[in-house]
Amino acid sequence: MTAVSTNDLKNGMTLNLPEGLFSVVEFQHVKPGKGGAFVRTKLKNVRTGAVIDRTYRADERLDQAIIEKREMQFLYADGGSYVFMDSRDYEQLSAPRSSLGPAANFLKEGDSVLLQFFEGEIVGVDLPAAVELTVTQTEPGVQGDRVSGARKPAVLETGLTVQVPLFVNPGDRVKVDTRSGEYLTRVGS
């Protein structure tokens, strides 16, 4: 574990606090007129996504967590486990769906992702901002039913359900935002 001063915090840095692993979302150094300087931070829990606000004294020491990132290819889902292959040494790794969090909703066989590891445990998945997925099930659009902004549910190939416009049909490919899980656009025709 590496100790880091609160004066050296940077956005994206990961800290190992007693409450768990937290990523620095933002920080601000404050030097009031009287009294000691302090650092106001906004921290995001790496595992749960919960955001907390914390204030530390200037030059207070915190444990920095070293996160290892490995490029892995998603091979297949086996029950509640997802099987990945390391792109460097072809070693396979099986991970429970729960360790992937919401990223599991956007993974399809053959996708390459960056898995984040801390002490051998998966703590995060780096996904692209948007992914293309195929619609497997939705109500067919009715000719002439073109109410502006009307939406209907659609099930995608990963099992994720999103709200799509009425003109989207089964078999269409759609682009989905991985941060919000919302439909962006239809791909091709």
Which amino acid would we find at residue 19?
Answer: E
CATH of the domain at 158: 2.40.50.140
- Is the Cβ–Cβ distance between 34 and 23 less than 8 Å? no
Same domain, 103 and 151: no
pLDDT in tens, 133-179: 999 998 876 655 566 678 889 999 988 999 998 888 899 999 999 88
CATH of the domain at 21: 2.30.30.30
| Domain end marker among 13, 39, 64 | 64
Same domain, 119 and 135: no
Q: How many beta carbons lie within 10 A of that of residue 57, not counting itself?
A: 11
Same domain, 59 and 6: yes
User: Is the model's pLDDT at 85 over the cut of 90?
Assistant: yes
Same domain, 136 and 149: yes
Judged by DSSP in three states, 6 sits in helix
Same domain, 10 and 57: yes
Host domain of residue 20: 2-64
Q: What is the mean pLDDT of residues 63-85?
A: 89
| Number of separate domains in the chain | 3
Same domain, 109 and 136: no
| Domain end marker among 64, 88, 117 | 64
- Is the Cβ–Cβ distance between 167 and 152 less than 8 Å? no
Percent helix, strand and coil across the chain, each to the nearest 5: 5, 55, 40
pLDDT in tens, 98-109: 888 888 889 888
Give Rg (Cα) of the chain.
21
Give me 23's structure tokens: 């990523």
Closest CA to 46 of 146, 118, 133, 139: 118
Confidence of residue 121 (pLDDT cuts 50, 70, 90): confident
